[in-house]
Structure 1
Amino acid sequence: MKITSVLVTGGAGFIGANLVRMLLKRDCKVTVFDNFSTGRYAYLEGLPVDIVEGDVLDRDLLIEVIRSHQSIIHLAAQTGVPGSLLDPYHDCEANVVGTLNVLEACRAAAKDSSATKMSQKIVFASSNAPLGRQIPPAAEDKAPLPVSPYGASKLAAEAYCLAYYGSWGLNTIVLRFGNVYGPFSEHKGSVVAEFFKAICNNNVITMHGDGAQTRDFVYVADLCRAVLLALDCNEAGEVFQIATGVETSINRLIEMVRDVSGRDTSIYKAPTRHGDVRKNYSMIVKAREMLGWEPEVDLDLGLRKTYEWFVKKT
């Protein structure tokens, strides 16, 4: 079935801004649902999208908006470990209750004769944080061991997505994103964005810990293709790791951003942050086999594309 109408919660944020553009290229009717607490109107300027300013904690508004869409991509969230440590209650409310409200709105829409019934596809944006202390590579069949409130809230939201498939047949798919980077990330606290902001503003790079910790960096355009494949596929009630399978240390990342920018920016070594995992990269066999997805942009090229965008914004 060709997807023609998509609601993107959190569509004015980093991933949303990239995803909305990709959806429009497919001639989809796109509605962005965002409270603009971190998202930016400027990211959507000039785009032929409908914008609903609202919060995923507003269940009644969600029911009203969701009923007219074939597919829902749920990106809206509290999106990081530091924020979850500062306010675990808000983290839970945004990530767990917000996701539950989206699912309940979809279930309510399915009961309505004017809605699209259970054919609605719901793609939920999760992360590797639920796996926490697991020895990498991260894989869908490993038991979650979250070490931060953020990981716990994303795990609970994943569980609700799978439970609504099991109990009521909602067509949910969970995508566990690696460390996403790319254009439209200037407002994010992610490591690539922070490094490039520091370089562009002639500040020092702040590195937490000894730099030996590792991550799996996935370029945002590759990730958005995975989301579209999840929308199109016939699978439901599944979890997929969306990353590259390549482990990169923060020390190596610093070398690469210095090379890309041509600047030998100084480093400030800050203490290790609570809730951060030591090593993290993913096994992506399931996404390859079931979604037909393969990352195309390697880290060097992706960093160059990202740096070009940051330079233009500075």
Structure 2
Amino acid sequence: MTDLRMPIGSAGQTPAVPRSVFITGASGFIGRSLVNRYKVLGAEVRGMDLHADPANNVIAGNLTRPEAWAKHAEGCELFINTAAVVSLAATWQAYREVSVRGVRNCLDVAIAGGAQRFVQFSSIAALGWEYPDQADEHCGVVIGEKYRYGVAKGASEHMVLAAHAAGEIDCTVVRPGDVYGPGSRAWLSEPLKMAKAGALILPNGGQGVFTPVYIDDLLDGVMLAAGLPEARGHVFHLCGHSATTCKEFFGNHWRWAGRSGSPRTLPLWAAVALTHAIWSVNKLLKRQDEVTPDTMYMFARKGDISSAKAQRLLGYQPKVDLVEGLRRSEEWLHATNQLS
């Protein structure tokens, strides 16, 4: 059920409802959820996505050609960029054009259109996969040839924080954990398809750390970060109550697919070698697939993420625990005929 109120922080922090909001990636899982939340609060909401959605005031466009949608963003006081290359299998060129240069395009559109606050969606992937337990916002971002999605996210943060430091526009960066819930393709529908096909493989016995955050809790955190003055110029981790293992989380998909036991596992080195071979074949065949070495690295993460800063400054407190979130997710999978 959609919450009809602005979130209130644990210490009573209450952001004002923005008069108008512009959201890129407005038809995606997170973008559409934000559109719906702000609309029921009475804000004027506009957006852009690869495909138009006139019913939600979303026009067609992409981050590389802002001239096609810049006018639609004029006059919006809050600009939220959720659009990015959401893939662990993209090329460096795609990440540069969309997730880095495209973010600068968004900043330029927001500034020219008179926006007062810019919120950039990053990801805990910006930290890589070998960060320490309870990693906070002081940890360095990942660099190098591996884990390109995370490298691109870190670079996008640089663009945004540099604009804030230069006084161009007030900016905030949010790093969600692994966002799931009704409507999630990445963490519900796609893993379920792989489980049904028997192709869901986890590295290192499935002991990699998974950091679930239910979609409604994420929206609360984003709206607090977007509306409170304390969030200006900051990066915030937004995660759920607690982490779990990949074996525990994706064991649900294995069960939903009618399989007994747990997903198959391989040592990380073997999983990386196998997925590298599959990825190479897919590139030759020009076939899109998320079976990549970077996926295995993501599933081998070693530590939990701390949301203590968001709790301290914003009063962010997740409300939906994993048991309840998975129950709602399973109901949605049934309702959308993804489960028999």
* 1:92 maps onto 2:96 in alignment: yes
| TM-score, with structure 1 as normaliser | 0.84
Match of 1:19 in 2: 34
Q: Say if 1:265 and 1:104 are closer, same or farther in 2 by CA, change over 3 A.
A: farther
Confirm or deny: 8 A CA contact 2:311 2:317 kept in the other structure: yes
Match of 1:217 in 2: 212
Match of 2:25 in 1: 10
CA RMSD in angstroms, aligned pairs only:
2.3
The partner residue of 2:68 within 52, 55, 61 is: 61
Report the CA distance between 1:214 and its aligned residue: 1.1
Q: State the alpha-carbon separation in 2 of the partners of residues 27 and 74 from structure 1.
A: 20
Q: Say if 1:257 and 1:206 are closer, same or farther in 2 by CA, change over 3 A.
A: closer
Confirm or deny: 8 A CA contact 1:196 1:307 kept in the other structure: no
Letter in 2 for 1:274: P
SS at match of 1:52: strand
SS at match of 1:73: strand
Report the CA distance between 1:129 and its aligned residue: 1.3
| TM-score, with structure 2 as normaliser | 0.78
Report the CA distance between 1:227 and its aligned residue: 1.2
Listed as ranges, the matches of 1:1-314 within 5 Å are 1-36=16-51, 49-80=56-87, 82-84=88-90, 87-109=91-113, 115=114, 120-132=116-128, 133-146=130-143, 147-186=146-185, 188=186, 190=187, 192-198=188-194, 202-204=196-198, 206-210=200-204, 211-234=206-229, 235-244=231-240, 246-257=242-253, 261=256, 263-265=258-260, 267-269=263-265, 271-272=271-272, 273-275=292-294, 276-277=297-298, 278-314=301-337
Letter in 2 for 1:74: N
Report the CA distance between 1:31 and its aligned residue: 1.0
- Note the residue ranges of structure 2 that are not aligned, 5 or more in a row: 1-15, 273-291
How many residues get paired? Answer: 289
Report the CA distance between 1:247 and its aligned residue: 2.3
Report the CA distance between 1:6 and its aligned residue: 0.8
Q: State the alpha-carbon separation in 1 of the partners of residues 92 and 312 from structure 2.
A: 36
Report the CA distance between 1:257 and its aligned residue: 4.5
Confirm or deny: 8 A CA contact 1:245 1:282 kept in the other structure: no
Q: Percent identity?
A: 26
Deviations 1:171-215 (A, max 9, x none): 1100001011111123x3x3x43333456xx44361232311111
Confirm or deny: 8 A CA contact 1:78 1:94 kept in the other structure: yes
Q: Say if 1:193 and 1:138 are closer, same or farther in 2 by CA, change over 3 A.
A: farther
